[in-house]
Amino acid sequence: MKYYIGSDHAGFAVKGLVALMLIERGHEVVDLGTDSAERVDYPDYAEKVARAVVSDSGSHGVLICGTGIGMSVAANKIDGIRAAHCHDYYTAQMARAHNDANILCFGERVSGPGVIESMIDAFTTTSFEGGRHAGRVEKIMALEKNH
């Protein structure tokens, strides 16, 4: 699986670690920045990763900021994105199983490396369950057609 990853300055320190975690698990990683701890605006990186995921069918993304909130709010403005703001293994697992999330978001200032690794594990190994969840996800995507 190809993963597009991005962060702002508040997620920069852990982005390299996330790249290593994904590569160790056999995934391809495309890092869309930021490239330093210099202050930047998280919507710019949310947009880069979200647009890459939408235009590359079958790919997923990981976005990191201080809390994970700004990245998830911004990424979800792009049609076709279901960005999930997660906090632990369970929320990352359910984001894939029930919501068919295509971008994992979390906060470097909130989650430590062990929890981050558990979220990467859950997100990268869990498949969408479909079934009763498919119609709900279709309803989410239909909301895009109304704006």
Query: What is the maximum alpha-carbon separation in the chain?
Result: 45
The CB-of-87 to ligand RB5 minimum distance in angstroms stands at 14
Whether 60 sits among the annotated catalytic residues: the reply is no
Of the residues 29, 30, 69, 97, which one makes contact with ligand RB5 according to CB under 6 A: 69
**Candidates 14-22, 64-72, 122-130, 139-147; binding stretch for ligand RB5 (CB under 6 A):** 64-72
Whether 85 sits among the annotated catalytic residues: the reply is no
Catalytic residue among 27, 87, 98, 133: 98
- The answer to whether residues 56 and 102 touch, using CB atoms and an 8 Å cutoff, is no
The CB-of-68 to ligand RB5 minimum distance in angstroms stands at 7
Examine residue 6 and tell whether it contacts ligand RB5 (CB under 6 A).
no
**Rounded distance between C-alpha atoms, residue 2 and residue 27, angstroms:** 6
| Number of residues lying near ligand RB5 (CB under 6 A) | 8
Examine residue 17 and tell whether it contacts ligand RB5 (CB under 6 A).
no
Examine residue 46 and tell whether it contacts ligand RB5 (CB under 6 A).
no
Write out the residues near ligand RB5 by the rule CB under 6 A: 8, 10, 42, 65-67, 69-70
